[in-house]
Amino acid sequence: MMQESTLKYTAVELSELIKAGQVKVTEALDDVFAVIEKREGLLHCYVTLEKEKAYQQAEELQRKIDRGALVSPLAGVPFAVKDNLCTEGTPTTCSSKILENFVPTYSAEAVKRLQEAGAVIIGKTNMDEFAMGSTTETSYFGVTRNPYDTERVPGGSSGGSAAAVAAGECFAALGSDTGGSIRQPACFCGVTGMKPTYGTVSRYGLVAYGSSLDQIGPLAKDVRDCAAILEVIASHDPKDSTSIARKDTDFTKALGRDIKGMRIGIPRDFFELSQNGSGLDPEVAAAVRGAAGVLEERGAVVEEFDLSLVEYAIPTYYTIAAAEASSNLERFDGVKYGYRVPGHEELHQMYKKTRSQGFGSEVKRRIMLGSFVLSSGYYDAYYLKALRVKALIKKAFDQAFARFDCILGPVAPTTAPRLGESLSDPIRMYLGDIYTISVNLAGLPAISIPCGQDHNGLPIGVQLIGDCYCEKKLLAAAYQYEKSVN
Amino acid sequence: MKQYETVIGLEVHVELATKTKIFCGCSTAFGGAPNSHTCPVCTGMPGSLPVLNRQVVEYALAVGLATNCEIHQYCKFDRKNYFYPDNPQNYQISQLYLPICHDGYVEIETPSGNKKIGIHEIHMEEDAGKLIHDEWEDCSLVDYNRSGVPLIEIVSEPDMRSADEVIAYLEKLRLIIQYLGASDCKLQEGSMRADVNLSVREMGTDGLGTRTEMKNLNSFKAIVRAIDGERARQIELLEEGKSVIQETRRWDDNKEYSYAMRSKEDAQDYRYFPDPDLVPVYISDEWIARVKKAQPELRTEKMARYRKEFDIPDYDIDIITGSKHMADLFEATVAICHQPKKVSNWLMVETLRLLKEKGLEPEDISFSPRHLASLIEMTDAKEINSSVAKEVFAVMFENDTDPVRYVEEHGLKSQSNAGELMQILEKIIAQNPQSVADYRSGKKKAIGYLVGQAMKATAGKADPGLVNRMLGELLS
């Protein structure tokens, strides 16, 4: 008898069935690899697949689960990991030519925690090169296609992770979010993605893009999976000085919470942005307002307000992120690991040619931008000014959170654009990040959940933003919403 | 010719004595196979992150407080960006905007009285790796064992006017830091390095001339020669109507000449900015108070205490406390044998002689207090005579040999029973009439044979010097 596919289950459901002895870990892998067999050729979610290793891991995990030594909510679940998270013994390329042959000798702390919880890591997902981009088109290894419409982008930079979850090429995935890189692809691919408060997940082993903005988070099938994954990967890691000791990381506890009386603010500014070219799509606006209505029905108090400073977020973000990136990416020089230009070269020629050939054009654009804003004579005018605006943006959010428990808004101004549409106009692509990047600048947690489709059947997402350390409020609201619409 | 005044400021790098590196847990031990003291952090691997070693802050704070500095109680680390293979991330983590210490001074003695040399700032930073050129393979290799070793850079004000003042300042700094236990400050091994910023100006004028920065100065002597050389070079330029170019120069102590490394024009833009991987360091009042309280006895206090506690000349006190290591050795030895005068004598005479002979520094003394005390006890008990003691000391100086065992094994103990030895010698004289006759007829070398016979008869236990002397007396 042909068995029913396990792919209809969420990660948490699957793990429960595995622990109950009703599904074998290898059966879940079989289902995932069957989809990969069928769709990966076109979708290209992965840079590296480790099928053999996955089955080896599965057997080991099955033994542990069978003797009751592994009871985590993620035990036995096939996972994908974004290719900027170091994985011991498995290539970690950041979708860049310069790291094409790089195999780390250590795993990122978040990956380690996931593995200790019994997840099976089946491969490394495609991304925008060094997480720079919003479409996964800047990958050296080629584009990833959106499972909803393969002529469209999956979003980025965690596009491979989002598409893999949406297509059933894994049950859940890890991504990283510097300016929206988890939430926006989750939105474009119709899955749930969450960026926690800065410092909640250790950045150790995450190849840095903008260190002060980068956070690792889950992309999953639903809110419960997101909460369960975040609970596993959140930790106070002494190897990361910016990691925070939190006692409230039992995120799944928040899921059943009532949201009666929860105060939700909708920034009027988010809906009035057409003058600077970002142009919020009316279908997106309607779906987002619809989601607010659902929460209102569940007892939340929804109110509009002026957040202010929204239009400054983009220049501020691109100044700070590019400055940090220009320095973070200096280590890729052909000396110690990764790509080096062939033949004998004088040192500075070697540096120049290696980096010119090893990096793609979007990465080079941001390195040049970042080097410029840090250079002597411009530091005060650009970098320092951006830091000051960053502090003001944080203040604007502080004021908002004095009134509201959550802020609700769009994730992106439009649904997924067509392949090739964005790269021809980088400024337009940057403007698409308008709703997500201020969250990173302020270090806040935010979640992106599906809230409908446009007339083309493309997913639309709604974003809930919380104050620092208020993930539980977001999860409670998101879970209530999800329950109401399903 | 016009009269010129030299204006000098120093940038002194000091390697701190922490067991582990500044941003990771790797060992700071000197030597070791290339890249054996490394990890993903100090080799700049992707995804690795720095975590500050608090002992580094503790040491920097101790040095700052001992040099009368103000403390930035909120301080930060910045990235200094430049590409070079010894620098694995291609940026060095240092402090530019908020260095831990600033606006301090140390006092030096000059012929015209005491003088304060201002300290502009002290900042913490990481050391770089080492490039090795492999002539055989014609390639460069890099060893990251030193990468991430903690340093402090002490930047002085341009307050020094001569090589003598520079040396006095460096000696003073070295002693303070050694006494604090923050570093061993060995110039030759590079745990203390000084770059000299020097300009000249016409005597009596106020403005500063264009300065040059001199690097690669590995000893106090090299520093003196480099200052004299650079002063002469700059004056010559000015006298010829040319101008001094602001540049970094490398001193070649063998050729006693410096050559330009890079000028101000091609100075790099380091694009400093606060390191986002590290959090700001908050130094509380309590922390400062604790470091102050834990400050060990510094040299001036130690000198005063020696004058009170030990009956030794001021000259000895000056020499002994001139090195923390020697002072520690002195006190530890005195604690065992309670003979300050004798311990001081061993240090002042034989130790200094051997150090000079071997071209070593007091910090290189390796014999233990226990062994020096034993040697003194043996001489006191007349178990060995003074010439034997010197011979034993030389061996002990070399490899910390236990003097008691050495004397035992080499039969150097003075023959305590003089009567017994006398009998043996008389017997030998009676048995060797030919040698006795030779000696008496002026062939003084003949005594050697008799000494040899005596050593043989005593199975090597006699003191050859004593035997020689006694035979001489018996035969005269």
Q: Domains in chain A, ordered, with CATH?
A: 6-254 (3.90.1300.10)
Whether the CB of A94 is below 8 Å from some CB of chain B: the reply is yes
Radius of gyration of chain B (CA): 29
User: Which of A392, A387, A354, A384 shows the shortest CA–CA distance to A98?
Assistant: A354
Residue environment code for B294-325, b if the CB has 16+ CB neighbours within 10 A, otherwise e: eeeebbeebbeebeeebebeeebbebbbebbe
Q: How far is B47 from chain A (nearest CA, A)?
A: 4
Q: How far is B250 from chain A (nearest CA, A)?
A: 21
Confirm whether B292 is domain-assigned. no
**Beta pairing class for B139-143 and B130-134:** antiparallel
Confirm whether B167 is domain-assigned. yes
| Judgement on whether residues B309 and B386 belong to the same structural domain of the protein | yes
pLDDT for residue A1: 39
Within 8 A of A203 by CB-CB distance, chain B residues are 47, 49
Could you say which of B235, B263, B287 is where a domain stops? B287
Confirm whether B157 is domain-assigned. yes
Whether the CB of A391 is below 8 Å from some CB of chain B: the reply is no
Residue B80: half-sphere exposure toward Cβ, Cα within 13 Å: 14
Whether the CB of A174 is below 8 Å from some CB of chain B: the reply is no
Whether the CB of A95 is below 8 Å from some CB of chain B: the reply is no
Q: Closest chain B residue to A337 measured between Cα atoms? A: B45
Whether the CB of A88 is below 8 Å from some CB of chain B: the reply is no
Strand partners, B20: B27
Instruction: Supply the ipTM of this predicted assembly.
Output: 0.95
pLDDT for residue B135: 83
| Judgement on whether residues B130 and B207 belong to the same structural domain of the protein | yes
pLDDT for residue A42: 98
pLDDT for residue B440: 86
Question: Which amino acid does the sequence have at A287?
Answer: A
Out of B52, B89, B278, name the one closest to residue A331 (CB): B89
Residue A474: half-sphere exposure toward Cβ, Cα within 13 Å: 31
Within 8 A of B83 by CB-CB distance, chain A residues are 330, 333, 348, 351
Helices within A220-278 (DSSP H only) = 223-233
Confirm whether B253 is domain-assigned. yes
Distance between alpha carbon A9 and the CA centroid of its chain, in Å? 22
Which residue, among B52, B83, B92, would best test binding to A if mutated, counting the most A CBs under 10 Å from its CB?
B83
| Judgement on whether residues B389 and B430 belong to the same structural domain of the protein | no
Q: How far is A131 from chain B (nearest CA, A)?
A: 13
| Judgement on whether residues B253 and B152 belong to the same structural domain of the protein | yes
Mark residue B56 as left, alpha or beta (left: phi above 0; alpha: psi -120 to 50; beta: remaining): alpha
Out of B48, B273, B277, name the one closest to residue A241 (CB): B277
Residue A438: half-sphere exposure toward Cβ, Cα within 13 Å: 33
Q: How far is A93 from chain B (nearest CA, A)?
A: 10
Q: Which two tokens stand for residue B369?
A: 């207090």
Q: Which two tokens stand for residue A203?
A: 């950045």
Q: Which two tokens stand for residue B350?
A: 């034989």
Helix H or strand E segment including B34: none
| Judgement on whether residues B38 and B125 belong to the same structural domain of the protein | yes
pLDDT band at B461 (very low <50, low <70, confident <90, very high): low
pLDDT for residue A423: 80
The residue segments making up the domain with residue B349 are 297-409
Contact A210, A245 (CB under 8 A): no
pLDDT for residue B265: 64
User: pLDDT for B255-284, tens place per residue?
Assistant: 888 889 877 666 789 999 999 999 999 999
Is the preceding peptide bond at A96 cis, omega within 30 degrees of 0? Answer: no
Q: Which two tokens stand for residue B262?
A: 């890079």
The domain that contains B461 carries what CATH number?
A: 1.10.10.410
| Judgement on whether residues B276 and B324 belong to the same structural domain of the protein | no
Confirm whether B251 is domain-assigned. yes
User: pLDDT for B9-19, tens place per residue?
Assistant: 999 999 999 99
| Judgement on whether residues B247 and B306 belong to the same structural domain of the protein | no
pLDDT band at B342 (very low <50, low <70, confident <90, very high): very high
Rounded mean pLDDT, B404-417: 78
Question: Cα(A186)–Cα(A196) distance, rounded to whole angstroms?
Answer: 15
Higher pLDDT, A149 or B382: A149
Active-site amino acid positions of A: 82, 157, 181
Using the predicted structure, report yes or no on whether residue B460 has a pLDDT greater than 90. Answer: no
User: Which of A77, A68, A56 shows the shortest CA–CA distance to A20?
Assistant: A68
> From first to last of its 486 residues, what are the pLDDT tens digits of chain A?
346 899 999 999 999 999 999 999 999 999 999 999 999 999 999 999 999 999 999 999 999 999 999 999 999 999 999 999 999 999 999 999 999 999 999 999 999 999 999 999 999 999 999 999 999 999 999 999 999 999 999 999 999 999 999 999 999 999 999 999 999 999 999 999 999 999 999 999 999 999 999 999 999 999 999 999 999 999 999 999 999 999 999 999 999 999 999 999 999 989 876 555 558 899 999 999 999 999 999 999 999 999 988 889 999 999 999 999 999 999 999 999 999 999 877 899 999 999 999 999 999 999 999 999 999 999 999 999 999 999 999 999 999 999 999 999 999 999 999 999 888 877 777 888 999 999 999 999 999 999 999 999 999 999 999 999 999 999 999 999 999 998
DSSP letter at B315 equals H
Rounded mean pLDDT, B442-452: 85
| Judgement on whether residues B282 and B312 belong to the same structural domain of the protein | no
Rounded to two decimals, the pTM is 0.89
Within 8 A of A209 by CB-CB distance, chain B residues are none
| Judgement on whether residues B316 and B333 belong to the same structural domain of the protein | yes
Question: Which amino acid does the sequence have at A221?
Answer: K
Confirm whether B10 is domain-assigned. yes
Out of A240, A323, A330, name the one closest to residue B49 (CB): A240
Contact A105, A88 (CB under 8 A): yes
Within 8 A of B50 by CB-CB distance, chain A residues are 241
| Judgement on whether residues B221 and B370 belong to the same structural domain of the protein | no
Using the predicted structure, report yes or no on whether residue B220 has a pLDDT greater than 60. Answer: yes
Radius of gyration of chain A (CA): 21
Using the predicted structure, report yes or no on whether residue B47 has a pLDDT greater than 90. Answer: yes
Question: Cα(B475)–Cα(B87) distance, rounded to whole angstroms?
Answer: 76
| Judgement on whether residues B371 and B452 belong to the same structural domain of the protein | no
Q: Which residues contact B267 (CB under 8 A, 6 or more apart)?
A: none
Q: How far is A335 from chain B (nearest CA, A)?
A: 7
pLDDT band at B187 (very low <50, low <70, confident <90, very high): confident
Question: Cα(A288)–Cα(A292) distance, rounded to whole angstroms?
Answer: 6
Rounded mean pLDDT, B404-423: 78
Out of A92, A206, A327, name the one closest to residue B81 (CB): A327
Contact B299, B175 (CB under 8 A): yes
Question: Cα(A426)–Cα(A411) distance, rounded to whole angstroms?
Answer: 19
Question: Cα(B162)–Cα(B29) distance, rounded to whole angstroms?
Answer: 36
Question: Cα(B62)–Cα(A456) distance, rounded to whole angstroms?
Answer: 68
Contact B64, B101 (CB under 8 A): yes
Could you say which of B240, B258, B287 is where a domain stops? B287
User: What's the mean pLDDT when you consider all of chain B?
Assistant: 92
Could you say which of B287, B309, B328 is where a domain stops? B287
Within 8 A of A205 by CB-CB distance, chain B residues are 47-48
* A318-337 residues touching B, CB cutoff 8 A: 323-324, 326-327, 330-333, 335-337
How many domains does one find in chain B? Answer: 3
User: pLDDT for B108-165, tens place per residue?
Assistant: 999 999 999 999 999 999 999 999 988 888 888 999 999 999 999 999 999 999 999 9
Distance between alpha carbon A374 and the CA centroid of its chain, in Å? 27
* B275-294 residues touching A, CB cutoff 8 A: 276-279
| Judgement on whether residues B366 and B425 belong to the same structural domain of the protein | no
